[in-house]
Amino acid sequence: MSDIRDDRAGVADPPDDDPKLYADTVRERVGTDIVAQQAAREEDHEHEFRQTPGLTVGLGEVPRQASLWGDAWRQLRRRPVFIISASLIVILVIISLFPALFATHDPRECNLIDSLLRPSSEHWFGTDLQGCDYYSRTIYGTRVSISIGIIVVFFSTIIAMIGGSIAGYFGGMMDSIIGRITDIWFVIPTILGGIVILSLVRTRGIMNVSLVLIVLGWATMLRLVRSSVLAVKANDYVDAARAMGASNSRMIIRHILPNAMAPVIIVAAINIGVVIAAEAALSFLGVGLQLPAISWGLMISTAQQRIITAPYLLVFPGIFLSVTVFSFILMGDALRDALDPKLR
């Protein structure tokens, strides 16, 4: 309406010289206005008609498909936190997939003559005691951190989803047994447990370290899945699905898990960061990966001996580690905001 009124105001302003022209203009303008108004009214009417009982969405407009994930994606796209963390993660993943594209030197080609050089245009992050290019080593270290983070979280989430949905869905005895095992597991601190188990292992590669972190890490996740499944299970649509003859496995896979996934995904994203930090901590303590593996934790561990003379050896892998952990945790936060606004 306001548009129409504005138009009229414009018309009321008479052109000084030609009154006839003015009248014509008025007629013309008012005429089109009436037509426009009529059209608008018809449209309104039609709209009203379309709104009559039951029809919530007008037939003309294509109903926007708003699934949980669709909505979440629309919300995420606009959030700077998500954009920043997602870009960082994408970059880190690309680096870990193709480190050679980014590295300037072969990380294992070391020359003792170049030992402990300060950062320069030739060696951006300087060189370590062995004379290896520190920038290239930091780049190659990404692969270890990211793969351990993803492997550990992937498998511990799968364990948690299986155990948690069984415990939550079937309840009773099953729940008690799984619940008590989880409780017992819960009291083992990740780092201390990792030290104990890993110190018994002679060779410690990515797989060994991941395995230990999986074994120590599923309990928290399982509790989360269980409580989430319990919350979803109370919904009427679960009863409804059962009344319609769905089997137990179908109920869990189709009706419960998709609805219980949101908090799990959020915590999984955060957990990737936590696991990466844990791996670095274990390597730093000397029970994680072993030389000649290239890992930020190991680099930080060796760098601490020269913290005064060559602080950059500590700083660069430290920055990479912090940024990586930070971006996964940030991603988890952004996902939480989008998937479960109530938790904010």
Partner 1 sequence: MKTNVISEADLKLGRYRIDPEAPLLEVEDLHVEFRIEDGIVKAVNGLAYTLGKGETLAVLGESGSGKSVSHHAIMGILDTPPGYVTKGSVKFRGVELLAPHKKTGTLDHVVPEIRGTRVAMVFQDALTALNPVFTVGWQIGEMFRVHEGLSRKAAKQRAIEMMDRVKIPSAKERVNSYPHEFSGGMRQRVMIAMALSLDPEVIIADEPTTALDVTVQSQIMDLLKELQQDTGMGLVLITHDLAVVAEVADSVVVMYAGRRMEKGGIEEIFHSAAHPYTLGLMKSIARPDVHLERLEPIMGSPPDLLDIPPGCPFHPRCEYVIDRCRVEIPELYAIDEHHSSACFRWQEVQIHV
Tell me which residues touch partner 1 (CB under 8 A): 53-57, 59, 62-63, 65-68, 171-172, 235-237, 239-247, 250, 254-255, 258-259
Contacts 24+ apart (CB under 8 A), 73-79: 73/338, 75/337, 75/338, 76/334, 76/335, 76/338, 79/334, 79/337, 79/338
Given the complex with partner 1, which of 51 and 87 has the nearer CB atom?
Answer: 51
Residue 60 CB, shortest distance to partner 1, in Å, is 10
Given the complex with partner 1, which of 20 and 342 has the nearer CB atom?
Answer: 342
Given the complex with partner 1, which of 18 and 239 has the nearer CB atom?
Answer: 239
Given the complex with partner 1, which of 110 and 264 has the nearer CB atom?
Answer: 264
How far is it, in rounded angstroms, from Cα 206 to Cα 143?
10
Residue 75 CB, shortest distance to partner 1, in Å, is 16
Residue 340 CB, shortest distance to partner 1, in Å, is 13
Given the complex with partner 1, which of 53 and 80 has the nearer CB atom?
Answer: 53
How far is it, in rounded angstroms, from Cα 165 to Cα 175?
10
CA dist 215 → 69, 143, 230 (Å)? 31, 21, 24
CA dist 264 → 134, 319, 343 (Å)? 37, 28, 13
Residue 342 CB, shortest distance to partner 1, in Å, is 14
Q: Kindly report the number of other CB atoms within 10 A of residue 218's CB atom.
A: 24
Query: H/E/C letters for each residue in 159-228?
Result: HHHHHHHHHHHHCHHHHHHHHHHHHHHHCCCHHHHHHHHHHCCCCCCHHHHHHHHHHHHHHHHHHHHHHH
Residue 266 CB, shortest distance to partner 1, in Å, is 16
Residue 62 CB, shortest distance to partner 1, in Å, is 8
Contact 283, 298 (CB under 8 A): yes
Given the complex with partner 1, which of 135 and 169 has the nearer CB atom?
Answer: 169
